[in-house]
Amino acid sequence: MTETTKNSKKAGLPPGALVHIGKQKAQKIKISVIDYDKDTYTEKICETIEECFEYRDTEKITWINIDGLHQTEIIQQLGEHYELHPLLLEDVLNTGHRPKIEEFDNYIFLTLKMLGLNKKADSIVNEQISFILGKTWVISFQEQQGDVFEVLRERIRESKGNIRFKGSDYLLYRLIDTVVDNYFYVTEFISESTEKLEGKVLLSNDRKNLLEIQHLKNELRNLRKAVAPLRDAVTNLHKDVTMIQEETKRYLRDVYEHIIHVNDSIDSQRDILAGIMDLYQTGVSNKMNQVMQLLTIISTIFIPLTFIAGIYGMNFENIPELHYKNAYFIVWGVMVFISILMLFYFKRKRWL
Amino acid sequence: MTETTKNSKKAGLPPGALVHIGKQKAQKIKISVIDYDKDTYTEKICETIEECFEYRDTEKITWINIDGLHQTEIIQQLGEHYELHPLLLEDVLNTGHRPKIEEFDNYIFLTLKMLGLNKKADSIVNEQISFILGKTWVISFQEQQGDVFEVLRERIRESKGNIRFKGSDYLLYRLIDTVVDNYFYVTEFISESTEKLEGKVLLSNDRKNLLEIQHLKNELRNLRKAVAPLRDAVTNLHKDVTMIQEETKRYLRDVYEHIIHVNDSIDSQRDILAGIMDLYQTGVSNKMNQVMQLLTIISTIFIPLTFIAGIYGMNFENIPELHYKNAYFIVWGVMVFISILMLFYFKRKRWL
Amino acid sequence: MTETTKNSKKAGLPPGALVHIGKQKAQKIKISVIDYDKDTYTEKICETIEECFEYRDTEKITWINIDGLHQTEIIQQLGEHYELHPLLLEDVLNTGHRPKIEEFDNYIFLTLKMLGLNKKADSIVNEQISFILGKTWVISFQEQQGDVFEVLRERIRESKGNIRFKGSDYLLYRLIDTVVDNYFYVTEFISESTEKLEGKVLLSNDRKNLLEIQHLKNELRNLRKAVAPLRDAVTNLHKDVTMIQEETKRYLRDVYEHIIHVNDSIDSQRDILAGIMDLYQTGVSNKMNQVMQLLTIISTIFIPLTFIAGIYGMNFENIPELHYKNAYFIVWGVMVFISILMLFYFKRKRWL
Amino acid sequence: MTETTKNSKKAGLPPGALVHIGKQKAQKIKISVIDYDKDTYTEKICETIEECFEYRDTEKITWINIDGLHQTEIIQQLGEHYELHPLLLEDVLNTGHRPKIEEFDNYIFLTLKMLGLNKKADSIVNEQISFILGKTWVISFQEQQGDVFEVLRERIRESKGNIRFKGSDYLLYRLIDTVVDNYFYVTEFISESTEKLEGKVLLSNDRKNLLEIQHLKNELRNLRKAVAPLRDAVTNLHKDVTMIQEETKRYLRDVYEHIIHVNDSIDSQRDILAGIMDLYQTGVSNKMNQVMQLLTIISTIFIPLTFIAGIYGMNFENIPELHYKNAYFIVWGVMVFISILMLFYFKRKRWL
Amino acid sequence: MTETTKNSKKAGLPPGALVHIGKQKAQKIKISVIDYDKDTYTEKICETIEECFEYRDTEKITWINIDGLHQTEIIQQLGEHYELHPLLLEDVLNTGHRPKIEEFDNYIFLTLKMLGLNKKADSIVNEQISFILGKTWVISFQEQQGDVFEVLRERIRESKGNIRFKGSDYLLYRLIDTVVDNYFYVTEFISESTEKLEGKVLLSNDRKNLLEIQHLKNELRNLRKAVAPLRDAVTNLHKDVTMIQEETKRYLRDVYEHIIHVNDSIDSQRDILAGIMDLYQTGVSNKMNQVMQLLTIISTIFIPLTFIAGIYGMNFENIPELHYKNAYFIVWGVMVFISILMLFYFKRKRWL
């Protein structure tokens, strides 16, 4: 989850200049339309963008989903037909944008992040998703094919629940809710990683653990950047916006609480990581202490003994002790006595 | 007090889909009803949920308590009869929810945490409890049987105090008050643990102490998560909500102050723990210092002496000192003198 | 200044249940009354609480002071006669309550902390004091006999200044002002302790200093808990409360500024203590550095020399140097040369 | 990007005293004018300031750009003709001013920082740029020649986009937008530097890395000082100011979001730098650990062996072992055995 | 800049009791008056306070400046004649007061700090200065003779600029502005000290540097205490106060920005000092590392060699190597070989 966006690409260009800021994709853009009301249901893949223009003013609820942002001319055509503001389209294409909501005269624009794990499941990937809510339609823009909405599509198709009985604002709510529910996967992944990491740090002071702490910290920071602004955006949505019906607002309040929950989890994890960092650092200090203690024990015992041996290795002509019969054994005795004394001392100091 | 809740279980499901998020229990749900007014008092255990439907529209105050959340169909039936919002029921079942209050047209919903110590009394357990306050009834939902309300039930039965003379809002206040008063047990437990821990840290740098610091930190963080949102919830309750009578609001203000007090205690304990962490870390440093000082004293005294002994262990043919009669004793003298000098030096440096 | 209050004592009891939370005192409660107006002055000690009931509705200003909170029935009687709210009496008795103000219909309730030094003048003691301001009377509750108001009583007796010409709100202001002015003694005590401590820390790394830092930190935290909520309470008092006359409000603003000042001092002292903590920790590191340097200097000089001595202590049959006439002296020369080289090196590294 | 401004130069002078606070330039001030409407376009370099006075009250949009602030009399003449407030001119000349907006009766004043990299591209340079927006004109003041507006001038000349169709407020927006877009270059530079630095810190504990961390921290602090106040300034601009048309305000909201984005990046980088600092510090500790381990391993193995050798170097007459035939080889065996034991021990402790 | 104020001096005294809290001065109080309008100008030194009473109700602008606060009876007389509130006079005399503004019916009271360097220019001194703004007069109180207003007096005398054409509120602005402009000297002094200190810390780990860091931190904290409250005070002044004319308010906004600037500088310096502290601490660690490395290199090379020498110093009868002819030289060879190996190892580890 690194920030590869190059916003500086756009310096000097006029506002609304449609430049796709993000990784280039080779695939064709895929446009799919779902059109429904209480009684009818149509689903199709459009070959050209013009095919989805007809849904603009019908009574039925229409969900136009666009996968891929690199063919800016298609986005532009869509924008012209649906009378979207150029700055809005610019924001759709700038995949480094922070989550936000903006209210226009006839529609609401909302952009947020879809979060997931990469295939090796060791880091978090994000994808920008933008929604435009009109009176009877929702347009969604995704960076890539493949999304989290399959369950929702199924429910619309089979008219499970009451989604077919409600307006486009309820559809938008369900879309946002699905995205936010997926955030829990990510926070649970982080939380499990943190727990595993704590175990590792307790076992060893390997520097790899430190790098992993930093890595998780960065993931959390990026998560926070994706989730925190969303909170304010959804607050606006369930409070002020006139296009959302009263009944739907209570549901949005529920989404809001989920976002708060995710946010709280992120903050907790940061705190826990700080604790693990402390563990790591005191681990390093403790190790050093052990090393030093061993060195000190060995040195303190043997250095005086070696000194004694040195004394009787001197070549003076007149060293009386050298001629005593049991001197050698007495010296050994003294040495053993000193050692035992030292060991007692270390025992009492709890170094052993 | 770990967060085992799996919110991701629900991703993709519609709102109001009743999934019990929490540990599964094998026991049957227990439904108990207390129905009273100034003059009468009834108490019973309902076999089926239908038995408690009759209390909805009576004049008497009814307290329906439900222990266990795993039989979602019972909750659903209750919800239908009492016309509860699906999102509310969802929140009742999601035991990882943060404390909150929500006002509906005909009732108020409040969810919070009941805190206690586990049986071995070495960690904190929490249980979610939710209240719905209607005009003449209060419904409470608990995760498990066994609660803190026995004293309160006794008072209602024997009509002690004025509880039988007041409305359902006063009953709700008494329920919340009882829950919050129990928080003090928990903060006092933490505070005692912290004090004990400080003593231990002063005695030794055992790594177990560090882990205990981290453990208490985590407990405090979880406590904070349970208590801090409650503050805002109760503020709303005693300020804005129309279903609460003026007189009761003053009582709720009292509860509010208790929550503030608990919150303050939690913050103090965090601070104190940070201080203990400092103690621990400087303890480690001080230990290292002591170890190094011992090593240095021993080395600094004996290394020069050993060198002198080494000198006179050399085998040069012509070392004049070797032949002096008292050379050996003079060398001893020099060595003792050097040692005393060193000891003086260390004394002055306060290393001894 | 430890928090011995056991709030959990009260769990499950109804609101307004009068339980004295605090240390039990054996003495009898002492009730003293001062009653005055411009022209008259009466002072008496009441044997029974009933004696002070008569002052409730007179025109004169009455100050009823109650020393001791353990005879709850007396407090209760007073409460009934003066129509005080049960929750208010509960707060009077709960000596662990944080400072607060609460406005009732006919009176204002204010509780705060009286701070002082204990007799050995090495730690801070606090005592809760509560005031109830009625139209023509002020009731004050203290935990123990002995207070800071003697100067004030003298001024009323001798009608110094204008206190006898003003209402009960001015009396309340004078009482609060006296309490707050005494806070300065405490902050000055802390500030002196901090200064002394800094001196000690500069001299030695004794672990006692660390404990003293922690002790002062705890004192400051407790002080903060006593003073910070008072700020908000007094703000309410000089802003919103209708029972306080305009003229008196300006005086309360002055008290407010004193509280801010005390608060600022506390924050400064915290900051300074953090600095002293840094001093302590770098002191420990510096000491270690010195120890290590000495060890290194001694080792680095003598280890190579000992090696040389060892070489010529070997017993090989054919070591040509052994037979040179001045070899011994040359070796000495080499050793002295090496030592001087090393000393130069350490000099340049500024280790000596 | 050091703060060379000497605000103290002005102490005691009256307000509006025009003193150029900044580096003195030798070049002449360069005044260039661009005058345009839908159909016409004029561009010229003025020799004297009087030449640009005529544009004040024309219908066409005029952009007067002044490069160089050291000839205060020119600024003063301009100020008099355009009826600019003396304090405004003072702010134009004080190049250490923080970004701000100020609304006057007939014009708006805005000052901000233009950021760039110096030629060696290793540090950030900033230049103050001020704008005055009148009804039909914009005056811009820069410290030096050379700016980031060339692309914009080109677009006006060739009437690309809709800039020639809009008012002076839109011109101001485009100028601010261009400045802000260039901020991204700077944050990307910082972000790359940080990444490189992290690599270096992982490789070595060179103190140069520490200095680079500090350097980047200072750059970030200065950046923050340049960008953070701008956020509030632009908020005012797109919210309250009456001279800006509704349509342009939406564009300014877009600029506002860019500034937020830059701010977020700066905060992220600060966080990342703190992480790198942690890496550095634990790197130092780890290195110390390695050094100590090596010392301990070598000492712990050889000190006991040397002691044994010392024993049998003693000159006692009666040491029985000396006369055993294979004693020497047995001693070697014992020594090797001890070494292997030690190595095993270190292996198990994972020191090897 | 230590806080010598003893606020506890006043405990128990009534409000408005005039006690001079500050250092006692022996000099007489000096009262000087400047009286002017567009056309006339008078300046005199008053012997008694009564001489300046006549200026109270004249049309001309009068600036009464009082140097010295220890003769409280003079202050009191002045206060009575000008009908100043007793609490205001108390604040004038309490030189430890934090900067504040207070609006009274007929005048505004403002107290702030004048900052400067002491004569040895190594620490910051502050002096309290208070202003009272009446309709046609300004009274200023200073602790000592000597101030920063000489330039301003000169401008009034010679009617430079427009000060003689404006009211007393403009005079007050000029006085505040002069005081605030002098703050820049102080922040620049701190900033230079910080820079010098950084250089010193890079060169050595002398503990004096640490003390200097602490000293600068304390200076900054005191500065902050002098400047931060002033910000709010001046905000009130240029926003709400009715005695200040609209035109003057824009000037006060300018002063406000200067104060913000000073505040920002203080915060930056704090940050930079924290960075220097980091430098110092890692400097200590690095030094320790170097010391340890030297010790380890020397020990690791010589301890094994000494062991070898020890081996051949043993007195076993049967050590075959002793009798080989070139054994001595071979052993030397082995030793040199080991040394070179070690040196290579240390080279690769970059310890050399």
Interface confidence, given as ipTM, is: 0.81
pLDDT, one tens digit per residue, over B231-260 is: 888 888 877 677 888 888 889 988 999 999
Chain E contact partners (≥3 CB pairs within 8 A): C, D
Question: Quick one: closest CA in D to E173, which residue?
Answer: D15
The rounded distance, in Å, linking the Cα atoms of B97 and B93 is: 9
In 3D, which of A295, A283, A251 has the Cα closest to residue A161?
A251
| Residues D234 and D294 grouped into a single domain | no
pLDDT, one tens digit per residue, over C97-141 is: 889 998 888 899 999 999 988 877 678 888 999 999 999 999 999
Give E-chain residues touching C182 at CB under 8 angstroms: 8, 11
Q: What number of residues does chain B have?
A: 352
Segment C273-287 shows an average pLDDT of 90
- A218 in reach of chain D (CB within 8 A): yes
Tokens of C82: 């003066």
| Residues A81 and A148 grouped into a single domain | yes
The answer to whether the CB of B106 falls within 8 A of the CB of B56 is no
Determine, for residues C310 and E315 on separate chains, whether the beta-carbon distance falls below 8 Å: no
Place A285 in a pLDDT band, splitting at 50, 70 and 90.
confident
The rounded distance, in Å, linking the Cα atoms of D293 and E299 is: 12
Range of the domain at E337: 288-348
Give A-chain residues touching B90 at CB under 8 angstroms: 254
Determine, for residues A285 and B281 on separate chains, whether the beta-carbon distance falls below 8 Å: yes
Instruction: Count the Cβ atoms, other than its own, within 10 Å of residue C80.
Output: 12
Give D-chain residues touching E294 at CB under 8 angstroms: none
The answer to whether the CB of A22 falls within 8 A of the CB of A95 is yes
Give B-chain residues touching C6 at CB under 8 angstroms: 184, 188
Determine, for residues E14 and C163 on separate chains, whether the beta-carbon distance falls below 8 Å: yes
Q: In this structure, what CATH number is given to the domain that contains residue B239?
A: 3.30.460.20
* Counted domains in chain E: 2
DSSP output for D6-19: -GGGGTTSPTT---
Tokens of E306: 């000494």
pLDDT, one tens digit per residue, over C139-148 is: 999 988 878 8
Residue type, A38: K
Determine, for residues C8 and B188 on separate chains, whether the beta-carbon distance falls below 8 Å: yes
| 3-state DSSP assignment of residue C23 | coil
By Cβ distance, the residue of E11, E100, E284 closest to C181 is E11
pLDDT reported for residue C158? 87
The rounded distance, in Å, linking the Cα atoms of D125 and D115 is: 6
The answer to whether the CB of E250 falls within 8 A of the CB of D87 is yes
Determine, for residues E316 and D312 on separate chains, whether the beta-carbon distance falls below 8 Å: yes
Please give, rounded to a whole number of angstroms, the shortest distance from the CA of A318 to a CA of chain B.
Answer: 6
| Residues E297 and E243 grouped into a single domain | no
| Residues E210 and E66 grouped into a single domain | yes
- C42 in reach of chain E (CB within 8 A): no
More confident residue, E163 or D27: E163
pLDDT reported for residue A304? 94
pLDDT reported for residue B28? 80
The rounded distance, in Å, linking the Cα atoms of D186 and D126 is: 10
How much is the mean pLDDT over chain D?
Answer: 87
- Tell me if B91 is assigned to some domain: yes
Torsion angles phi and psi, residue D68, rounded to 5: 110, 135
The answer to whether the CB of E141 falls within 8 A of the CB of E92 is yes
Question: Quick one: closest CA in B to A303, which residue?
Answer: B302
Determine, for residues A292 and B294 on separate chains, whether the beta-carbon distance falls below 8 Å: no
pLDDT reported for residue A9? 62
| Residues E111 and E177 grouped into a single domain | yes
- A5 in reach of chain B (CB within 8 A): no
The answer to whether the CB of B167 falls within 8 A of the CB of B61 is yes
The answer to whether the CB of B62 falls within 8 A of the CB of B137 is yes
Please give, rounded to a whole number of angstroms, the shortest distance from the CA of D345 to a CA of chain A.
Answer: 12
- Regions of chain B short of the pLDDT cut 50: 1-5
The answer to whether the CB of C7 falls within 8 A of the CB of C21 is yes
Give CA separation, A124 vs A223, A229, D192, D199, E279, in Å: 9, 18, 21, 22, 35
Q: In this structure, what CATH number is given to the domain that contains residue B301?
A: 1.20.58.340
> What's B21's DSSP letter?
B
Q: What number of residues does chain D have?
A: 352
Give E-chain residues touching C286 at CB under 8 angstroms: 205, 207, 284
| Residues E218 and E339 grouped into a single domain | no
- Tell me if A268 is assigned to some domain: yes
- Tell me if C2 is assigned to some domain: no
The rounded distance, in Å, linking the Cα atoms of C319 and B302 is: 29
The rounded distance, in Å, linking the Cα atoms of E314 and A184 is: 73
Residue D109 confidence (pLDDT) above 50: yes
The answer to whether the CB of A84 falls within 8 A of the CB of A90 is no
In 3D, which of B237, B128, B260 has the Cα closest to residue B184?
B260
Question: Quick one: closest CA in B to C291, which residue?
Answer: B293
pLDDT, one tens digit per residue, over B29-71 is: 889 999 998 889 999 898 888 888 888 888 899 999 999 888 8
Please give, rounded to a whole number of angstroms, the shortest distance from the CA of E4 to a CA of chain C.
Answer: 10
In 3D, which of B189, B174, B195 has the Cα closest to residue B262?
B189
DSSP output for C292-331: HHHHHHHHHHHHHHHHHHHHTT---S--GGGGSTTHHHHH
| Residues C77 and C147 grouped into a single domain | yes
Mutate to test the interface with B, among C93, C102, C220, C295 (most CBs of B within 10 A): C295
Segment D69-76 shows an average pLDDT of 86
Please give, rounded to a whole number of angstroms, the shortest distance from the CA of B204 to a CA of chain C.
Answer: 13
- C320 in reach of chain B (CB within 8 A): no
In 3D, which of D236, D238, D276, D242 has the Cα closest to residue D254?
D238
* H-type alpha helices, chain B: 72-81, 86-93, 150-157, 168-203, 207-239, 246-311, 327-348
CB interface of D with A, residues 74-103, below 8 Å: none
> What's B8's DSSP letter?
G
Segment A288-300 shows an average pLDDT of 90
- Tell me if E1 is assigned to some domain: no
In 3D, which of B79, B65, B47, B73 has the Cα closest to residue B144?
B65
By Cβ distance, the residue of B161, B299, B306 closest to C295 is B299
- Tell me if C1 is assigned to some domain: no
Question: First vs last Cα of chain E: how many Å apart?
Answer: 48
The rounded distance, in Å, linking the Cα atoms of A238 and A230 is: 12
| Residues A195 and A310 grouped into a single domain | no
Residue D106: CA count within 13 A, CB half-sphere: 9
The rounded distance, in Å, linking the Cα atoms of C211 and C194 is: 13
Angle between helix D246-311 and D168-203 (nearest 10):
10
Determine, for residues E298 and C295 on separate chains, whether the beta-carbon distance falls below 8 Å: no
Domain edge (last residue) among C254, C282, C310: C282
Cβ pairs A/D, distance under 8 A: 150
| Residues C50 and C14 grouped into a single domain | yes
The answer to whether the CB of A87 falls within 8 A of the CB of D250 is yes
- Tell me if A114 is assigned to some domain: yes
Residue E53 confidence (pLDDT) above 50: yes
pLDDT reported for residue B113? 93
Spell B87-116 as b/e; 16+ CB within 10 A means b.
bbbbbbbbbebbbbbbbbeebbbbbbbbbb
Give A-chain residues touching D152 at CB under 8 angstroms: 12
Give D-chain residues touching E191 at CB under 8 angstroms: 3
In 3D, which of D270, D36, D308 has the Cα closest to residue D168?
D36
| Residues E187 and E161 grouped into a single domain | yes
pLDDT reported for residue A171? 93
Cβ pairs A/B, distance under 8 A: 150
In 3D, which of C303, C290, D348 has the Cα closest to residue E300?
C303
The rounded distance, in Å, linking the Cα atoms of C144 and C29 is: 9
Please give, rounded to a whole number of angstroms, the shortest distance from the CA of C170 to a CA of chain E.
Answer: 11
Torsion angles phi and psi, residue C72, rounded to 5: -65, -25
- Tell me if C287 is assigned to some domain: no
The rounded distance, in Å, linking the Cα atoms of A242 and A106 is: 10
CB interface of C with E, residues 114-153, below 8 Å: 148, 151-152
> What's A137's DSSP letter?
E
Residue C81, classified by CB atoms within 10 Å of its CB into exposed (0-12), middle (13-18) or buried (19+), is: middle
* H-type alpha helices, D129-167: 150-157
Domain edge (last residue) among C243, C261, C282: C282
pLDDT reported for residue B3? 42
Give D-chain residues touching A7 at CB under 8 angstroms: 181, 184, 188, 258, 261
Please give, rounded to a whole number of angstroms, the shortest distance from the CA of B205 to a CA of chain C.
Answer: 14
How much is the mean pLDDT over chain C?
Answer: 87
- E336 in reach of chain C (CB within 8 A): no
Tokens of A36: 């429904």
The rounded distance, in Å, linking the Cα atoms of B218 and B229 is: 17
| Residues A60 and A149 grouped into a single domain | yes
- Tell me if B153 is assigned to some domain: yes
Torsion angles phi and psi, residue A100, rounded to 5: -160, 165
pLDDT, one tens digit per residue, over C297-351 is: 999 999 999 999 999 999 998 899 999 989 999 999 999 999 999 999 999 988 8
Give C-chain residues touching E85 at CB under 8 angstroms: 250
- E309 in reach of chain C (CB within 8 A): yes
The rounded distance, in Å, linking the Cα atoms of A307 and D311 is: 10
| Residues D20 and D142 grouped into a single domain | yes
In 3D, which of C144, C165, C161, C139 has the Cα closest to residue C152?
C161
Place C250 in a pLDDT band, splitting at 50, 70 and 90.
confident
The answer to whether the CB of A112 falls within 8 A of the CB of A99 is yes
- C351 in reach of chain E (CB within 8 A): yes
Place C264 in a pLDDT band, splitting at 50, 70 and 90.
very high
- E313 in reach of chain C (CB within 8 A): yes
CB interface of C with B, residues 152-181, below 8 Å: none
Domain edge (last residue) among B248, B282, B316: B282
Please give, rounded to a whole number of angstroms, the shortest distance from the CA of A55 to a CA of chain B.
Answer: 26
In 3D, which of E293, A294, A297, A288 has the Cα closest to residue D297?
A294
Segment C193-203 shows an average pLDDT of 92
Instruction: Count the Cβ atoms, other than its own, within 10 Å of residue D156.
Output: 20
- E228 in reach of chain C (CB within 8 A): no
